[in-house]
Amino acid sequence: MLIFLFWKITFLKIVYINQIGYICNHKQNGDSVSLVNNRIHKMKRILVSGGAGFIGSHLCTRLINDGHEVICLDNFFTGSKDNIAHLMGNHHFEVVRHDVTYPYSAEVDEIYNLACPASPIHYQHDPIQTAKTSVMGAINMLGLAMRLDAKVLQASTSEVYGDPIVHPQPEYYWGNVNPVGYRSCYDEGKRCAETLFMDYHRQNDVRVKIIRIFNTYGPRMLPNDGRVVSNFVLQALNNEDITIYGDGKQTRSFQYIDDLIEGMIRMMETEDDFTGPVNLGNPNEFSIQELAEKIIAMTDSSSKIVFKSLPNDDPKQRQPDITLARKKLGWEPTIELEDGLSRMIEYFKGSKTNK
């Protein structure tokens, strides 16, 4: 009995010392050790493809702040080292220059597959490479996840709904996409990636997650890449004409980057048999003209609005139905458009892109 008690006390001491040691080590290294439900939050190794882009850089930052190790994989086509400069000194952060159309290998627990140019100007620059990035990139990331038994999340897009005839768009709507147009390299590439994700899940039991991201904006968007919020903010700050393509009545919903990142993390944490797809976007709808007028007012700009003809296959309206995200992730956007826009305006005011 005495021997048993002695053994038990010694064992408990070792566990206690180990835990304290773990916390101290991590505190010494400058980490934030988070306690979730009174348990030490497990550090994971996470791969983020496209991690030097607009969304990827915010995701890497959040994952590092949550105490994880992050490998950022990027070919720097539209991403930049500036976007991740603030993470470079962190010994839990690694950058690898790599094109996802080629296989890549590293030991990781989770993969976020974001690599793909997102703005029409960039994805139409080399449409074959865009389709290859979506399709080959998906195959390579899924293959890696399969070998490692890692979870893998696909950053899909509201573009899979094309020019929708159902409004707002729920996940069970299959979309209205032109397979042979100028946007098809992106839209169909992303649709094919979703197919591959579901087939790897059904055929090989890979734990997959698919999110469909709607229009997202925030700091680190590239200026003048044709995305509407950054374009309008820059034009307004420079008192230049604000260009609206079409009559301005087409509607969009705009989600602030921090809301999206929260939704992505929550999606990754869902139970293994939940694959999605799940819409992540802000359901508050604005016409493009309303957006332009709001930005002009907020920047106190003398810009005038000018109208140009609508590009090919531009969808007339887009609004997410986020019922599923509310139910499965307990998620909904929290940042109002005015609040997000003022953060964006401050960012561009301080950035070298503002003349």
Ligand X SMILES: NC(=O)c1ccc[n+]([C@@H]2O[C@H](COP(=O)([O-])OP(=O)(O)OC[C@H]3O[C@@H](n4cnc5c(N)ncnc54)[C@H](O)[C@@H]3O)[C@@H](O)[C@H]2O)c1
What is the closest distance, in whole angstroms, from the C-beta atom of residue 15 to ligand X in the complex? 42
Per CB under 6 A, contacts with ligand X among 194-223 are 213, 215-216
Nearest to 280, CA basis, from 162, 158, 191: 158
Answer for the pair 56, 95: CB distance below 8 angstroms, yes or no.
Answer: no
Does the annotation count 186 as an active-site position?
yes
Considering only residues 140, 157, 235, 279, which one is a binding residue for ligand X as defined by CB under 6 A?
A: 157
45 or 98: CB nearest ligand X: 98
**Residues 253 and 215: beta-carbon distance below 8 Å:** yes
Annotated active-site residue in 123, 161, 186, 200: 186
Contact status: 56 vs ligand X (CB under 6 A): yes
Determine contact, residues 314/162, Cβ cutoff 8 Å. Answer: no
Which of 46, 47, 55, 108 is the binder for ligand X (CB under 6 A)? 55
Does 188 contact ligand X by CB under 6 A? Answer: no
Residue placing its CB nearer to ligand X in the complex, 117 or 150: 117
**Cβ pair 288, 252 in contact under 8 A:** yes
Residue 213 near residue 156 (C-beta atoms within 8 A): yes
User: What residues from 77 to 136 belong to the interface with ligand X (CB under 6 A)?
Assistant: 77-79, 99-101, 114-118, 133
Total number of residues that touch ligand X (CB under 6 A): 28
Residue corresponding to tokens 């048993």: 4
The nearer residue to ligand X, 168 or 301, going by C-beta atoms, is 168
When asked if residue 254 is in the footprint of ligand X (CB under 6 A), the reply is no
Concatenating the DSSP letter of every residue in 119-171 gives SHHHHTTSHHHHHHHHHHHHHHHHHHHHHHT-EEEEEEEGGGGBS-SSSSB-T
Q: Which residues are catalytic?
A: 186
Footprint of ligand X on this chain (CB under 6 A)?
49-50, 52-56, 74-79, 99-101, 114-118, 133, 137, 155, 157, 213, 215-216
